[in-house]
A and B are shown apart, each in its own frame.
Chain A
Amino acid sequence: MADPRPDNARSALSRLLDEDATDLYLNAPCGYLSTLPDGTVVKVNHTLSAWLGRTAEDLLGTRLQDLLSVGGQVFYETHMAPLLRMQGAVREVAVDLIRLDGSLMPCLVNAVELRGPDGEPQLVRATVFEATARRRYEKQILDSQSAARAAEQRSRTLQQIVIDLAGASTVSAVAAVAVRRSASLPPSGGAGLLLLLGSGPATALVTADSAGLTPWMIAALERAAHGSLTLLGNLGSARVVLPDERMQAAEPELVRVMHAQEVSALVVVPVRAEERTLGLLVLISYLSADSKGGLIDLEEPGTGWVPSRDELGLCTTVGVQVGEALARARLHEEQTRQAARVSYLLDASQQLAGSSGVQETVDRLVAVAVPRLADVCVVDVGHGRVLRRLAARHGNPARQGLADALLRYEVPPRSSGHPAAAAVTHRRTQWLQVQEADLRVLLPERDQQDAVRALEPAEILSIPLIAAGQCLGAITLISDRHRVGLGPADVELAEQLALQLAVRLHQEERLAAEVAISHLLQQSLLPASPPARPAPGLRAAFRYLAATQGVDIGGDFFDVAPLPAGRVAVAVGDVVGHDLTAAATMGQLRSVYRALLAGESGPAALIGKIQASWEMLGLQRMATALFATLDAATGELRVASAGHLPPVLLTDGRARLLNVRPARMLGAPASDAVEWSGVLPPGGSLVLYTDGLVESAGADLDIGLDRLVSAVQGCAGTSPESMCDELLEVLTEDHRADDIALLVLQRDG
Chain B
Amino acid sequence: MQVLARHDVRVSGVPEGRPIVFVHGFGCDQSMWRLLVPDFARDHRVITLDLVGSGHSDLEAYDPVAYGSLSRYADDVLEVARELELEDAVFVGHSVSAMIGALAVTRAPECFGALVMVGPNPRYVDDGDYSGGFSRADIAGLLDSLDTNLVTWAATMGPVIMANPDRPELAQELTESFCSTDPDIARAFARVTFLSDNRTDLPAIPVPTLVLQCSADAIAHDAVGVYVHQQVPGSVLTRLAATGHCPHLSAPVETTAAIRAFLRAG
Which residues of A are in contact with B by a Cβ distance under 8 Å?
Answer: 37-39, 63, 65, 69-79, 81-83, 85-96, 110, 112, 121, 135, 138-139, 141-142, 145, 290-291, 293-296, 298-300
**Count of chain B residues with a beta carbon within 8 Å of a chain A beta carbon:** 58
Closest chain A residue, CB of each to CB of B155:
A141
Provide the bound-state CA to CA distance between A142 and B25, in Å.
25
Closest chain A residue, CB of each to CB of B127:
A290
Provide the bound-state CA to CA distance between A121 and B140, in Å.
33
Interface code B193-204, partner A: CB below 8 Å = 1, 0 otherwise? 001110000000
B161 located at the interface, meaning its Cβ lies under 8 Å from any Cβ of chain A in the complex? yes
Interface hub of A70, A76, A110 (most chain B Cβ within 10 A): A70
| Cβ contacts under 8 Å, B143 to chain A | 71, 298
Q: A39-B243, A70-B138, A142-B151 are in contact. Are A294 and B178 (CB under 8 A)?
A: no
Interface residue from B68, B125, B145 paired with A294 (Cβ < 8 Å): B68
B217 touches A296 (CB 8 A): no
Q: A77-B246, A78-B245 are in contact. Are A138 and B191 (CB under 8 A)?
A: no
B141 touches A77 (CB 8 A): no
B2 located at the interface, meaning its Cβ lies under 8 Å from any Cβ of chain A in the complex? no
A87 touches B145 (CB 8 A): no
B244 located at the interface, meaning its Cβ lies under 8 Å from any Cβ of chain A in the complex? yes
Provide the bound-state CA to CA distance between A139 and B144, in Å.
9
B265 located at the interface, meaning its Cβ lies under 8 Å from any Cβ of chain A in the complex? no
A94 touches B152 (CB 8 A): yes
Q: A77-B217, A86-B174 are in contact. Are A295 and B195 (CB under 8 A)?
A: yes
Q: A71-B141, A74-B219, A79-B149 are in contact. Are A87 and B171 (CB under 8 A)?
A: yes
Task: Give, as a whole number of angstroms, the nearest-CB distance from A141 to chain B.
Answer: 7
| Cβ contacts under 8 Å, B230 to chain A | none
Interface code B133-158, partner A: CB below 8 Å = 1, 0 otherwise? 01010111111111111011100010
Interface residue from B145, B146, B191 paired with A96 (Cβ < 8 Å): B145
Given contact pairs A78-B25, A90-B162, A295-B69, a sample of 4 additional A-B residue pairs in the complex whose CB atoms are under 8 Å apart: A71-B146, A75-B146, A82-B32, A86-B249
Which residues of B are in contact with A by a Cβ distance under 8 Å?
Answer: 25-28, 31-32, 34, 68-69, 95, 123, 125, 127, 134, 136, 138-149, 151-153, 157, 160-164, 166-167, 170-171, 174-175, 178, 191-192, 195-197, 216-219, 243-246, 249-250
Task: Give, as a whole number of angstroms, the nearest-CB distance from B137 to chain A.
Answer: 9
Task: Give, as a whole number of angstroms, the nearest-CB distance from A149 to chain B.
Answer: 9
Task: Show 20 residue pairs from A and B whose CB-CB distance is below 8 angstroms, ordered by the A residue.
Answer: A38-B250, A39-B244, A71-B143, A71-B146, A73-B218, A78-B25, A78-B219, A82-B27, A82-B246, A83-B174, A86-B34, A91-B161, A94-B148, A96-B145, A142-B152, A295-B196, A296-B125, A296-B195, A296-B196, A298-B139
B218 touches A65 (CB 8 A): yes
Task: Give, as a whole number of angstroms, the nearest-CB distance from A706 to chain B.
Answer: 96
| Cβ contacts under 8 Å, B152 to chain A | 94, 138, 141-142
A295 touches B26 (CB 8 A): no
Task: Give, as a whole number of angstroms, the nearest-CB distance from A473 to chain B.
Answer: 68
* Minimum-distance CB pairs A-B, first 8: A71-B145, A78-B27, A77-B245, A88-B164, A295-B195, A71-B142, A89-B162, A38-B243
Provide the bound-state CA to CA distance between A117 and B29, in Å.
27
Closest chain A residue, CB of each to CB of B242:
A38
Closest chain A residue, CB of each to CB of B249:
A85
B219 touches A77 (CB 8 A): yes
| Cβ contacts under 8 Å, A142 to chain B | 147-148, 151-152
Provide the bound-state CA to CA distance between A344 and B148, in Å.
69
A69 touches B145 (CB 8 A): yes
| Cβ contacts under 8 Å, A91 to chain B | 157, 160-162
| Cβ contacts under 8 Å, B127 to chain A | 290
A70 touches B164 (CB 8 A): no
B28 touches A78 (CB 8 A): yes
Interface residue from B31, B125, B153, B178 paired with A94 (Cβ < 8 Å): B153
Closest chain A residue, CB of each to CB of B138:
A70
| Cβ contacts under 8 Å, B157 to chain A | 91-92
Provide the bound-state CA to CA distance between A37 and B216, in Å.
13
Interface residue from B134, B148, B167, B218 paired with A138 (Cβ < 8 Å): B148
A89 touches B164 (CB 8 A): yes
| Cβ contacts under 8 Å, A94 to chain B | 145, 148-149, 152-153
